[in-house]
Structure 1
């Protein structure tokens, strides 16, 4: 494939795999009032991205074997468009959750299949992985930053959420065309289609990567869903809370640009890996002690800790050799990691409802910094999953 087509395709898919997850947080209070949504359902909504990314992600490799990796990504984008546009019209909280699950399920297909698609383009692997990670951050930050101002401009939360289906619609024709084009190629020129491999549980690298990915993803979706409300309860406006969440997410853009190259060079990686958990603890400590005094500093600390996410995404390709193994590892690490992550936002909602405050929530979230650093450091060495699989 021509370099330009690959780059455009990655940009279009990457920027549309996060807005459906990050856009509800800044307007969560208004959304609850508009739909009559309970605290429990609000907690389910914030945990839904991780749940859908996990459950649907488990099916992604199987779908790719039926329709092809590229066409599977295209189908996922169709689901994203339909879910985001239709949920903005929903009048019932249950219907809103179902349509949200449709959109998030489409994103889950992209989460799992895009790394395998990138691995099948070895000459551009580092570039495409860098662009992919950066695009995820841009999409997530844009939704967090712009949703509340659009809602405040007079249209309300419905158009503010629905507008994120429009950029996804731009990506659909290209990816469906690429999928059709791939089916016309000889089998050995197509993106890898790998069977799920249960032998991956015997790979220490895969286990550490799954734990790192799950902890960071849990933290990310807790922050997407609940950090705006934490800031609002500290006295900040909805727009300010959304801006701080966007700052946190946007900082990850720097990590997406830098971490693939740092991993490739191998220098300084261990220090970075150790810092992820330390910064996470520092950020939550700041939110505990003085959430409204230096709110931007706590967002920055949590954002730099979030470099763990683009690092984990880059390690999916950096710690494998064969594209088929990349597909297997991606189909194992991401679904299981996201299933673990889904428990976090839902648990935060229940814990906040039970205690009526954020103190215990912040202490529990900070405690996860210890295993995050532990598993991250385990991945700093140049190991390969291919070498750890049973013969």
Structure 2
């Protein structure tokens, strides 16, 4: 079990790395990257119908569009640690942001559905690099709890803002292209600071490498904590992308307007803001995590049951319940740094948990589309989604144990 002096040693090792940059610069960098890592995926759901009509997109391509974020995050994220070893973590993140901005901006200029899908893949691949590398960047910079709080909050704020704003911007501009193009511009805004950080790192490469000094060796598959964290992250990510892609449509099929459905999706996502603000501190203190994991599963099953039985009666309640269950996501993100000592192991763990977890998550939205098309309604879909509360809960209880992945390898 981790001891207080272990944590003190971890912070002491991190402190010299943190001294090169002021906390304000670190916070600004984390804010700029974190708010960009979700809108490329979460902005599609509220205007999916308009995109389908505008591009003449069939149900198969639309299903692929909702499932592709998890798949791309998994496949591209698996390459992120190797990229960082060659160019540095800061440069890797800057490169990812540049690719993301290009893909998200170019996709709104095309009229061909397959090309739109391809450019979406390009944009998401850039975001995948940041998903994997930012936790390791934070671990090596110090101020881990504070910066992970900023990071987790930024992820939720970005996703929430995208679901809340995309449909109204689309309606005001009269085009879904304006609504989606906004997020490519936001990614471009982050480039100057991260480009400067990459140049600074290049001038002093010893300052910040993935492979720090004498990292523990071993395969992540041999760590029970890493495996359980991957299951927790994968199941919750599957729900996140099902919710990004399909929950607004479930609400719309129940007779709710597009803007109202987008607002409900934003409400669902916004619950995570409060959680992201406090969870890194809760995890650092190590109390009440098992009860928290059980509550995630209970509320997840309850939210989908409500969508099944009375989607338009109290839609805000189901959104709040699913939003609370979604706190499993910032929990799993915070645990990537909390369950590791060495920044190199943080990078390895992040490079294992996120790609594998997103690969598991990728099949969820795609299967939802197939099952819905086959059955003609949402009944079977919602029942199956509710049942996944079981593995989510079991994995959450396992990672609640205060162990370090470094020690299990």
TM normalised by structure 2 equals 0.93
Please give the alpha-carbon distance, in whole angstroms, between the structure 2 residues aligned to 1:172 and 1:196: 33
Please give the alpha-carbon distance, in whole angstroms, between the structure 2 residues aligned to 1:196 and 1:83: 37
Match of 1:206 among 223, 226, 243: 226
Shift of residue 154 of structure 1? 3.5
1:386 aligns with 2:406: yes
Please give the alpha-carbon distance, in whole angstroms, between the structure 1 residues aligned to 2:160 and 2:64: 22
Contact 2:88 2:205 in 1 (8 A): no
SS at match of 1:236: coil
1:91 aligns with: 111
Q: Greater CA deviation, 147-156 or 69-78?
A: 147-156
Shift of residue 48 of structure 1? 0.7
SS at match of 1:292: coil
1:175 aligns with 2:200: no
Contact 1:273 1:377 in 2 (8 A): yes
Q: Following superposition of structure 1 onto structure 2, how do residues 163-242 of structure 1 map, counting pairs within 5 Å?
A: 163-187=182-206, 189-193=207-211, 199-242=219-262
1:24 aligns with: 44
Shift of residue 197 of structure 1? 7.1
1:261 aligns with 2:270: no
1:339 aligns with 2:359: yes
Change (3 A) 1:358 1:198: farther
Shift of residue 170 of structure 1? 1.0
Q: Following superposition of structure 1 onto structure 2, how do residues 1-391 of structure 1 map, counting pairs within 5 Å?
A: 1-122=21-142, 124-187=143-206, 189-193=207-211, 199-389=219-409
Contact 2:81 2:210 in 1 (8 A): no
Change (3 A) 1:196 1:140: farther
Contact 1:210 1:334 in 2 (8 A): yes
TM normalised by structure 1 equals 0.97
Contact 2:216 2:345 in 1 (8 A): no
Contact 1:270 1:377 in 2 (8 A): yes
Task: Give deviations 1:174-207, integer Å, cap 9, x for gaps.
Answer: 10110110111151x2142479976111100000
Q: Greater CA deviation, 359-368 or 261-270?
A: 261-270
Please give the alpha-carbon distance, in whole angstroms, between the structure 2 residues aligned to 1:196 and 1:143: 39
SS at match of 2:324: helix
SS at match of 2:274: helix
Shift of residue 268 of structure 1? 1.5
Please give the alpha-carbon distance, in whole angstroms, between the structure 2 residues aligned to 1:113 and 1:267: 28
SS at match of 2:190: helix
Contact 2:85 2:209 in 1 (8 A): no
Change (3 A) 1:243 1:173: same
Q: Greater CA deviation, 261-270 or 16-25?
A: 261-270
- For the aligned residues, what is the CA RMSD? 1.2
Structure 2 residues not aligned, in runs of 5+: 1-20
Shift of residue 213 of structure 1? 0.5
Contact 1:54 1:336 in 2 (8 A): yes
Spell out structure 1 runs of 4+ moving beyond 2 A: 191-198
Please give the alpha-carbon distance, in whole angstroms, between the structure 1 residues aligned to 2:94 and 2:47: 29
Please give the alpha-carbon distance, in whole angstroms, between the structure 2 residues aligned to 1:181 and 1:121: 14
Change (3 A) 1:196 1:175: farther
SS at match of 2:115: helix
Give the aligned length.
387
SS at match of 2:402: coil
